[in-house]
Structure 1
Amino acid sequence: MKLKGKHVILSLVLLVFGFLLSFSYQQTKNDSKITQLSNQSWERGYFYRQQLIDLEGENKELRAELDRKRQEIQRFEETLGQQKSVIRDYVETKKNLQMFTGELPIKGEGIKVTLRDANYIPSEANANQYIVHERHVQLVLNELNSAGAKALSINGQRLYKDSYISCVGPVISVDGRQHAAPFVIAAIGEPEVLELSMTLSNGVIDLLVSDNVEVELEPVDTIEMKARIS
């Protein structure tokens, strides 16, 4: 059979058309796979982004909670510090009160006031008017207490809030213990204040001198007094 020119051209056209059809189908298939892969990648990216957003939200909540806890701890520490300060003040106050009442020993600066009988007693005079009496000692003690003395003692015997002093002839009795002149009265407190109080014009020392009592006053750097023995 002899092919004519038209048949050859038609065959070539059909061959080219078949090739184009096949290529188009293959390309469409590949594009579908690419689209499917792109969709899967986007879904994974969205999932990871969503997880990241959720984690950031949780972290923000945790940071806020941590800040609240820190603030609570800070408030607790401040309250505890205030309580410690109050307790420390109570302990210090109790300690001071115990020292004042004699339950604890006490030490500090202060003054000593020494009272002596008169060295010279005229023969015609009443000797009783030239010796130290209980009222003289009490006068000094009252003045020192008024001047803010924290603790007092007579001849080394500490005085307490319930101590009593009485005159027994030429001696005085302090809580039942007798002491003879000279009487050394020690006072713990501000030396300048105590001394000023004692040396006021027409004050205690002037009264004692007018009663023929010899008075000696001296500041002391350290005075120690023991606690009361139960």
Structure 2
Amino acid sequence: MKSRQLIFALVFLVLGFLLTFSYQHTKSTAEIVQVNNQEWERDYYYRKQLIDMEEKNKQLRSELNQIRQEVQSIEKELGEEADVIKDLVDTKANLQKMTGELSISGEGIMVTLKDASFIPAEDHANQYIVHDRHIHQTVNELFSAGAKAVAINGQRIYRNSYISCIGPVVSIDGTSYPAPFVISAIGEQEVLDVSLNLRNGVIDHLIQDNIEVTIEKKSNVEMYAKDM
């Protein structure tokens, strides 16, 4: 009887120990799971924050690239407008130089027309002097050859200038000049020179009319603006 009770006591003791151990183990496991759940939630939160920041940065980079493209487009338009304005300013300045509102300078040539140094006694002197038509021919040829500006004895000539003979002198826009006549032209030297010296051109006609002609190339010819 006592042995049976002893056996039951041992069995109950073992069962009690097992139950106690099982309870403690379960409690410990629950705590571990709870800690792991907290860490997972925290990790998930940080991951979500990181993903949100990455998405925001991606959006900001996209907006920045778009703004850069817009800025480049605006800069290009401004550059093109600046080029157009510059071209207009340059064109205006060139026109003002050609019309005499501004001074002009550059390479060119000087054509000097002189009366014949020898006049035969049997001929009329009128056949050996420079006339307005000779000046007209020379000036027109220079303009046709691309001269940017022309002057006679320092006086600027324009498309509507009036040149005429008054006895032994030539009147240019109301101002009289005696021979010799120095016709200055600003433009490409070679083009102007070749144009004047074409066969049966201006120079040949002047020589046939007994006019003494000399041509000199100049690295710089200056012409001042006309008085307004």
- Establish whether TM, by shorter chain, passes 0.5: yes
Task: Show the 5 A alignment for 1:146-225.
Answer: 146-225=144-223
Q: What residue number does 1:120 align with?
A: 118
Q: Report the alpha carbon displacement of residue 15 of structure 1 after superposing the two structures with TM.
A: 2.2
Q: What residue number does 1:59 align with?
A: 57
Structure 1 CA distance, aligned partners of 2:131 and 2:36?
117
Q: Report the alpha carbon displacement of residue 57 of structure 1 after superposing the two structures with TM.
A: 1.4
Structure 1 CA distance, aligned partners of 2:122 and 2:49?
117
Q: Secondary structure at the match of 1:181?
A: coil
Higher mean displacement: 171-180 or 119-128: 119-128
Q: Report the alpha carbon displacement of residue 14 of structure 1 after superposing the two structures with TM.
A: 2.0
Structure 1 CA distance, aligned partners of 2:56 and 2:223?
68
The number of aligned residues is: 228
Q: Report the alpha carbon displacement of residue 122 of structure 1 after superposing the two structures with TM.
A: 2.0
Task: Show the 5 A alignment for 1:33-48.
Answer: 33-48=31-46
Structure 1 CA distance, aligned partners of 2:200 and 2:10?
150
Q: What residue number does 2:70 align with?
A: 72
Structure 2 CA distance, aligned partners of 1:145 and 1:7?
143
Q: Report the alpha carbon displacement of residue 9 of structure 1 after superposing the two structures with TM.
A: 2.7
Q: Secondary structure at the match of 2:18?
A: helix
Structure 2 CA distance, aligned partners of 1:34 and 1:200?
111
Q: Secondary structure at the match of 2:119?
A: coil
Q: What residue number does 2:139 align with?
A: 141
Amino acid at match of 1:153: A
**Mind listing any 5+ residue stretches in structure 2 that lack a counterpart?**
none
Q: Secondary structure at the match of 2:177?
A: strand
**Mind listing any 5+ residue stretches in structure 1 that lack a counterpart?**
none
Q: What residue number does 1:108 align with?
A: 106
- 1:95 is aligned to 2:93: yes
Higher mean displacement: 30-39 or 107-116: 30-39
Q: Secondary structure at the match of 2:36?
A: helix
Structure 2 CA distance, aligned partners of 1:197 and 1:6?
146
Q: Secondary structure at the match of 2:74?
A: helix
What RMSD over aligned residues (CA atoms) do the two structures have, in Å?
1.5
Q: 1:84 aligns with which of 55, 71, 82?
A: 82
Amino acid at match of 1:35: V
Q: Report the alpha carbon displacement of residue 168 of structure 1 after superposing the two structures with TM.
A: 1.1
Structure 2 CA distance, aligned partners of 1:201 and 1:9?
149
Q: Report the alpha carbon displacement of residue 49 of structure 1 after superposing the two structures with TM.
A: 1.6
Amino acid at match of 1:77: E
